[in-house]
Amino acid sequence: MQSTHLQVPLKNLRPGHEAPNHPGNARVTGREDGIAELAAHIHARGKIDDLLVYDDGVPHTYFVANGNRSLAALRMIYGEESSEPVDCKLTTAERAFEDSLAVSVTAKKFHPVDEFEAYARLKTEHGKTEEEIAKQYGMTTREVLQALALGGSLSPHVRDLWRQGRIETEVVHALPMVGQHDAQDRLLKKLSPEGRYDRLVVTSTVEDASKVFRSKIAAAASKLARR
């Protein structure tokens, strides 16, 4: 079936799991997570994707198979009884649950490295401030600063390893203790000359990072003492 585009008043849309005959929202856990943040993003930028809706036999009502979090965010912005038109695509009641499941299963969480690089690009190429990024994407300024700080504290090599899943997140979080990017790369090479970074454990990494950190402090103190 080819999807049909239509506009539906917000007040005539209901969550898929409320459908009486063909409940069409596969997501149970986390249905209400991050709605305020999503509402802030929609308010700032508008809704990006159409809702996928279906008729389940209730007069003047469409149920949402995919986009239930967007529906909740739109209700937060405009109110449940709003006549605000919402762009939708029509599917069948029989396909609604499978369509919802397909989207939920294939959805991927934004990787922290991708998040850092995206925010950094917004700053350098689009001239956005941390405050503007936070407001636009429904975050706090602190969250944006933390994402930028973590990504910026890691060497490009470490970021690539993390993105590829070749190094554990706990190990990644320990590496900024080493300091400069080249020092992180040297430490990884020392810990695993064969490049099997996925075998590293956070305890050994922290201990080695701490040794490097302490040696830097000792060297700096010695340099000051000689002045």
Q: Where are the domains of the chain?
A: 4-106, 112-225
Q: What is the mean pLDDT of residues 93-112?
A: 80
pLDDT at 182: 93
Q: Which residue has the higher pLDDT, 155 or 214?
A: 155
Q: How does pLDDT run across 171-190, given as a tens digit for each residue?
A: 888 888 888 999 999 989 88
**Which CATH number describes the domain made up of 112-225?**
1.10.10
Query: pLDDT per residue over 14-59, tens digit each?
Result: 999 999 999 988 777 777 888 888 888 888 878 878 999 999 999 9
- Complete DSSP assignment for 74-97: HHHHH-TT---EEEEEE--HHHHH
What's the whole-number average pLDDT of the chain?
84
Q: What are phi and psi of 64, to 5 degrees?
A: -95, 120
Q: Which of 168, 177, 172 is nearest to 210 (CA)?
A: 177
SS3 7: strand
Residue 155 reports pLDDT greater than 90 = yes
pLDDT of residue 208: 59
Question: 137 pLDDT band (50/70/90 cuts)?
Answer: confident
Mean pLDDT of 129-154: 89
- Please compute the mean of the pLDDT values over residues 75-96 and round it to a whole number: 94
pLDDT tops 70 at residue 68: yes
The domain 4-106 is classified under which CATH number: 3.40.140.10, 3.90.1640.30, 3.90.1530.10, 2.115.10.20? Answer: 3.90.1530.10
Task: Provide the pLDDT for residue 64.
Answer: 96
Answer for the pair 65, 53: CB distance below 8 angstroms, yes or no: yes
How many beta carbons lie within 10 A of that of residue 37, not counting itself? 16
Taking each helix axis as running N to C, give the angle between helix 181-191 and helix 156-163, from 0 to 180 degrees, rounded to the nearest 10. 60
First to last CA, the chain: 80
Comparison of pLDDT for 62 and 121, the residue scoring more: 62
% pLDDT > 70, the chain: 85
**pLDDT at residue 4 above 80?**
yes
User: Residue 51's CB: how many other CB atoms inside 10 A?
Assistant: 23
Buried b (16+ CB within 10 A) or exposed e, 64-76: bbbbbbbbbbbbb
Residue 116 class from Cβ within 10 Å (0-12 exposed, 13-18 middle, 19+ buried)? Answer: buried
Q: Is 154 left (phi over 0), alpha (psi -120 to 50) or beta?
A: beta
